[in-house]
Structure 1
Amino acid sequence: MTDSTHGSDPDSRFISVDGLRVHYKRAGTGPVVVLLHGSGSSMHAFDSVAARLAQASDVVRLDLPGFGLTGPRPDRDYRIGTYVATVASFMAALNVAHYTVAGNSLGGNLAWNLALSHPGRVDGLVLINATGYPEKTLPAGLRLARNPLLRPLLRRWLPRSATERSLREAVGQHSKIVDDAMVDRVHTLMNRPGNRSAFVDLANTDQPDRSSLIKQIAVPALVLRSASIDGQHFARDISGSHEMVHADGGHLLPEEDPEWVAEAIGEFMRSIAGVSRRRQGDQP
């Protein structure tokens, strides 16, 4: 395991985990919260949320394998279980034994699977427009990547207009966040070597349906979703969970309304602080 602070930003760090050079950032002090972004995205999706949470928390966020500066997996293994194992190993490499995990979209899928696989480590779970139920509507980018006629083309070329169109479809009807800077950032990172092919590989990976296991989640949980997002039953299936619904947001809530998301996560972490301390006292 090696750790380096060299990266594209002064606060970028890299650490070797499972043969990958994982890009991450860490800021703030207090209880640890790890933020997991969605498909086709990067840690930058949580920039504003992280800045707010860092005032009272130790905030860890990473570029998941296949995205951002972490880049593709050499073995092209993008199964949810593999992602979960990598995130767990990443947190262990940082010597963080207990944490709240918050994930958007794909990141939410990883988050609830992490809570199932490592209940002794996860003190709290925040699901933001998470995925994992079979009836979930696929984002436009994933539908494109699954098209057998377009897959080979997407591995070689992705027009900026397609990135912009995908982002505009992912936000709420009244959202104004999709500007040139956002499109350029997402498009540039998606076009880093290997990232487009990784996205295609992820989109075409056969993921087993584990939604029947969601009822087994026993850690405190907060469900954040947009009213326009379908296929979510986490609040129904996770006993004792609390749900908050955003009236106007789309799929990218951490970017569309970071103040709302950060306030909700911060309040949730304060509410479970006593439970977390007791759980940590019971764990090695």
Structure 2
Amino acid sequence: MLHGTTSSLEHFDGVAERLEASFDVIRPDLPGFGGTGPRRDGDYRIGTYAATMAGFMRELGIETYAVVGNSLGGNVAWNMALDFPSRVSALVLVNATGYPEKELPTGMRLARNPLLRPLMRRFMPRHMVQRGLRQAVGPGSTIVDDTMVSRVHGLWNRPGNRSAFVDFVNTDQVDRSREIPQISVPTLVLRSAHVDGQGFAGDIPDSQEEIHPSGGHLLPEEQPGWVADAVSRFLMAQSDGRRP
């Protein structure tokens, strides 16, 4: 399970808790975020993330696996499906990114501003973290509380994480969206109805899609039961050799 930008493996706590009785669940902190810290080589290209995660699984001795990714994690996941199709047995994209026309969140737009970049490397105020989280959830969500804000603010302020975020946002990413129709592994697309940049179900052959009517971008934290149930049905169907 791969989390999104400025998040951590804790993003999937509720989903993992529900799935661990039936599946082996592995949740890393992506390089540059969470407790992993910045990459020494400063390489934040999506293709590098995909290769790093494939190498991570190889080090664990796991040859084939399903990949579930939210936001940036979804982008990394579908790149893994393109680059390592013999190893990715199934793909679940949860409000994934990767289409160039997707609107950037406020924090990313600020990080691309040459006047603000030095400030973001040195300081990330709590109120900005809170505002960003509230913008990322659905309008009726109540999950953004003091505990969540403190956790995410603490991750922002781990050594090197702020600079890693700025470096990631200012990395020129290769647009591979035209390759999305080449994804051949079984795919489930989970998305919130009002989240943009979601053309995966139409572009990935034979993919399945489930839409949450009111969720926001952080669907695994907002609706962990809904996400876990959908993932479980999909993966169980794959193991049975049938479509749900």
If the length of structure 1 is used for normalisation, what is the TM-score?
0.84
Partner secondary structure for residue 225 of structure 1: strand
Cα deviation, 1:103-161, whole Å, max 9, x if unaligned, reads 00000000000000010011100000000111111122211211111110000000000
Partner secondary structure for residue 223 of structure 1: strand
> Which structure is richer in relative contact order (CA contacts within 8 A, separation 6 or more)?
2
Q: CA deviation at 1:189?
A: 0.9
Matches within 5 A, 1:1-284: 35-275=1-241
Cα deviation, 1:234-260, whole Å, max 9, x if unaligned, reads 000100000111001000000000000
Unaligned runs of 5+ in 1: 1-34, 277-284
Unaligned runs of 5+ in 2: none
Q: How many residues align?
A: 242
If the length of structure 2 is used for normalisation, what is the TM-score?
0.98
Q: CA deviation at 1:275?
A: 4.1
RMSD of aligned Cα (Å)? 0.9
Partner secondary structure for residue 64 of structure 1: coil
Q: Percent identity?
A: 64
Cα deviation, 1:165-203, whole Å, max 9, x if unaligned, reads 000000000000000000000000110000000000000
User: Residue 12 of structure 1 corresponds to which residue in structure 2?
Assistant: none
Runs (4+) of structure 1 exceeding 2 A deviation are none
For 2:241 and 2:76, the matched residues in 1 are separated by 23
Look up the equivalent residue of 1:129 and give its one-letter code: N
